[in-house]
Amino acid sequence: MGKFVVIKTATGFKFDLKAGNGEVIATSEVYTTESACRNGIESVRTSCVGGVEDQTVEGYEVLKHPKFEVYNDKAGEFRFRLKARNGEIVATSEGYKTKASCLNGIESVKKNAPEAEVVEE
């Protein structure tokens, strides 16, 4: 079972969504308060039902929010970002060498986020 790990940083709070094996699936921005961070977690829970917009293909279909956006980063790796209903980015992924691995990361968010416990580090 996955878990959201709330982490205190020098400038605020962030969270990582970790899979059952401890791997980080997605991470958040840094929030100024723990309350805002926990609101971000709830936004991931409600937004992870969205479709997948593959921005790596020409003429991709633009989907409504909430959605996962798959894109190539500057290093040529595949990444995803989860956008909430309001269009704000609520979680981002690491870089993946293959699109298939990136899509597996999205499936892992969809599977783990709704029921993941919240713990503090």
Q: Quick one: pLDDT band at residue 57, thresholds 50, 70, 90?
A: very high
Report yes or no on whether pTM surpasses 0.85.
yes
Q: What is the 3-state secondary structure (H, E, C) of 37-85?
A: HHHHHHHHHHHCCCEEEECCCCCCCCCCCCEEEEEECCCCCEEEEEECC
Report d(CA 117, CA 103) in Å as an integer: 23
User: Per CATH, is 3-120 categorized as 2.30.29.80?
Assistant: yes
Report d(CA 35, CA 20) in Å as an integer: 25
- pLDDT computed for residue 1 by the predictor: 85
Tens-digit pLDDT profile for residues 7-25: 999 999 999 999 999 999 9
Q: Which of 25, 1, 18 is nearest to 121 (CA)?
A: 18
Tens-digit pLDDT profile for residues 66-78: 999 999 999 999 9
- pLDDT computed for residue 121 by the predictor: 84
